Amino acid sequence: MAGLGSAESTRVSHPVINWASIDRIKVGAEASICIKVSPELIAATAGVTGDFNPLHVDADAALMLGHSRPVAHGVVLLGVISRLIGMQLPGPGSVWFANEVEFLAPVHPGDEVEIRAKVVRVSAASNVVVLELSGRRLPNTEVLRGTAKVRVPSMIFHRDANMDDSQKVALVSGASRGVGRAIATALAADGIAVAVNYRNDSGGADETVAQIKSAGGQAVAIRGDVARAEGAKEAYEGTMKEFGRIDIIVHNATPPIEGRAYLETTSAQFREFFDTYVVGLHELVLLAAPQMRERKAGRIIALLSSFIAEVPPKFSAYITGKHALEGFCRSLAVELGPSGITVNAVSPSVLIGPTTDDIGIIGREVIARKTPLRRIGHPDDVAKIVVFLAGNDASFISGANVPVSGGILF
C-alpha cells in the first residue's frame, strides 16, 4: 500500500544503554554535573514551563525587586538533578519519585553551578536508592541542598536475554558419557560452546568432544572432580582459560549408582552423594555466579531423578542426595533470581543405557509398562529439555523441576 513502509524500513535502531543496576550501586558513590546558566537557558525554561515571572526574565524588574540580575528558575537546578539521576547516578531507567530540596541562594545568568549527588542508602529489597544532594555556585557559594529517593529499574528483559547462542558457553559436569554426553552434544548443536567436564573418564570425555567437533560444534574436555572444592575450581578455571566466560552450568555429575539396602549403606556413601550433588554445584556456582550477575543473565540446571517421587528401595543415599539438590536449587532460584539468573532442575525417569541393557528384555518391558507413554526414556529426551531451559525462550522459568518421565507424576 502506497505511503506505508515495511516494518524493516521503519525500525528504529536504539543505542546500547548501560542501564542502572542496584547491584552496582554502593553507599558513598558520587556523581556531579557542572553547567553554565545562560540567558538562553532561562528563556527556554520560561518557554517550556510558561513561567514568565519578571523576576526570571526581566532585568529591570529583578533590579527593582532587589536583585542585581534576573534569578534563574528553581526548576533549572531541578532539571540538572534530573539529568544527574537519569544519566549518571543511579543512571538510565531510574525513576526519581520523592525529594526534599531547599534553595539557599539565587542563581543568575552567567553563573556556573555544580550539582552533586551522593548515595547515602541502598535498599536492594525495594530497588530504592536515597541520594544526598548539594549544589554550589562556583567557586564556593552553597545554593541548594536536600535529598532524593530514586527507584532503580528491575529489568523485564535483561541485557543478555537475547544474546546469540554462538556467544554462550556451557559447563556440563559429568559429560563423558550417557545423559551428560547427550546434553553436551545437544547444547553444542544449538551453537553453544561446551566445556565437557569429567572426573576420571578422559577417554569418554574425548569421545564427547570428538562427536561435537565432527558435527561442527565447539568443545573441550576439562578435568575436575566437582565433589571437591579444588576439583570444581579446576573445572571452572579450565573453562575460563579456554572460553573466557560461563553462561550456563549443567550439573550432571554423579557417583556410581548401585542398589544397596539401607542397613548396608555407610555414612561415607551418603556424604559422597551429597558432596557431588550439592557441594559440587555450590562450588561451581560460587565461582561462576559473579560474572553472571554482572551480565544480568545466567542459567543453572541440575539433573534430579524421578526416584525422588517414586522412591524405590535400596537407593537411600542416592535419593537423599537428589532431594537435597532439589532444595538447594529452589534456594538458589530465590537468591539469584534478582540478578537475572534462572535455576531449574530436570528429573528423568529410567533412561535407555547400560543399566537397562543389564536388566534384559523383560525388565525393560516392566519399566515401559509402568510409564503412561509405554516406553523407556532416551538421553536425548532429557537433552532437549535442558537446551530449552538454557535458552532465551525459558527466561521466565526458574525454580522449576521438569519431569522427563513419560507421564510418571510428581
List residues with catalytic annotation. 318
Phi, psi at 41, each rounded to 5°: -65, -40
Contact between 366 and 339 under an 8 Å Cβ cutoff? The reply is: no
Whether residue 388 contacts residue 394, with contact meaning beta carbons closer than 8 Å, is answered with: yes
CA distance 175 to 210: 13
Burial class for 27, CB neighbours closer than 10 Å (0-12, 13-18, 19+): exposed
Angstrom distance (rounded) from CA 365 to CA 404: 18
For residue 251, report the phi and psi dihedrals to the nearest 5 degrees.
-100, 105
Cβ atoms within 10 Å, residue 113: 21
Q: Which residues pair with 142 in a beta bridge?
A: 136
Facing residues of 298 across strands? 341
Distance separating alpha carbons of residues 142 and 30, to the nearest angstrom: 18
Place of cell 530497588: 127
